[in-house]
């Protein structure tokens, strides 16, 4: 791929004022995650995280394929220290640490790194024709971007190991039944549904949304007592925001609140 084409491996646009969207743009490689694509996705996540006017991010691969895994051509001759020096884990971390909600809009294949990318998001909207899988075992390796850890937390030990050990994908209805997919819709309604979901979240108070995401994710790996304490402290902190006053006043006044993230 030419340098100019690789620079456009991810297209970023703003379909609605508070929503930023990243679209993987390597159709000739089924949106395989090249280094430039990974770097662009990390930059996208940092932008969602830091820009005041953005409240939700959407990651998609377009109407045909989400992402069919890592770029095997760039990995086949790699040695352990070469992989270490690439620092790919830091690029994934930028997505994982985004404080604002991220939605994966999935059509077609979400395999390997593509499945891991979807699982890095907070919500997954999938078309009925989508397929999810972690086929790394078929090429002699294993997932390395959270596939074993995030999948087992999402669907449980036995279902996760079925995917991990066989490398065989599951269809979107099965993924929804297992709890991996948030919304299952017709293929041509994926982006519309993702935008609707993003719009709903964007209308909520941003600080409350940020705290909910932080507590839900952090608390999942804590003892219940510690998670409850974290929840309680965060809820108390929100009473120091203008949005709390606005939200409760609007409720009593029977009007729509105007949340400003303050």
Hey, which residues are catalytic here?
A: 70, 113, 116, 136
Query: What's the CA angle centered on 152, arms 188 and 30, to 5 degrees?
Result: 40
Sheet hosting strand 109-111, strand order edge to edge: 109-111, 131-133, 170-171
Q: How many CB atoms lie within 10 A of CB 77?
A: 7
Contact 52, 261 (CB under 8 A): yes
Distances (CA, A) of 91 to 86, 191, 193, 212, 252: 10, 25, 27, 24, 45
Q: In this structure, what token pair is assigned to residue 186?
A: 């017709």
DSSP single-letter state for residue 121 = S
């Amino acid at each position: 791929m030419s340098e100019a084409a690789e620079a456009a491996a991810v297209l970023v646009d703003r379909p609605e004022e508070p929503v930023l969207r990243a679209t993987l743009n390597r159709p000739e490689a089924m949106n395989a995650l090249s280094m430039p694509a990974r770097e662009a996705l990390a930059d996208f996540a940092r932008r969602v995280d830091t820009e005041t006017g953005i409240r939700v991010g959407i990651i998609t691969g377009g109407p045909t394929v989400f992402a069919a895994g890592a770029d095997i051509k760039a990995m086949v001759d790699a040695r352990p220290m070469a992989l270490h020096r690439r620092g790919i884990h830091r690029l994934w971390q930028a997505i994982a640490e985004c404080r604002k909600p991220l939605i994966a809009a999935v059509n077609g294949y979400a395999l390997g790194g593509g499945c891991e990318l979807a699982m890095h998001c907070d919500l997954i909207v999938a078309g009925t024709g989508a397929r999810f899988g972690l086929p790394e075992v078929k090429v002699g390796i294993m997932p390395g971007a959270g596939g074993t850890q995030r999948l087992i937390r999402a669907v449980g030990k036995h279902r996760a190991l079925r995917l991990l050990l066989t490398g065989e994908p599951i269809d979107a209805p099965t993924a929804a039944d297992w709890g991996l997919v948030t919304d299952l819709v017709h293929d041509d309604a994926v982006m519309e549904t993702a935008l609707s979901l993003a719009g709903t979240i964007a209308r909520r108070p941003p600080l409350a949304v940020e705290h909910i995401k932080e507590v839900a994710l952090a608390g999942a790996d804590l003892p219940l007592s510690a998670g409850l304490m974290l929840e309680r402290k965060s809820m108390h902190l929100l009473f120091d925001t203008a949005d709390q006053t606005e939200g409760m006043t609007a409720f009593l006044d029977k009007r729509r609140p105007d949340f400003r993230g303050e």
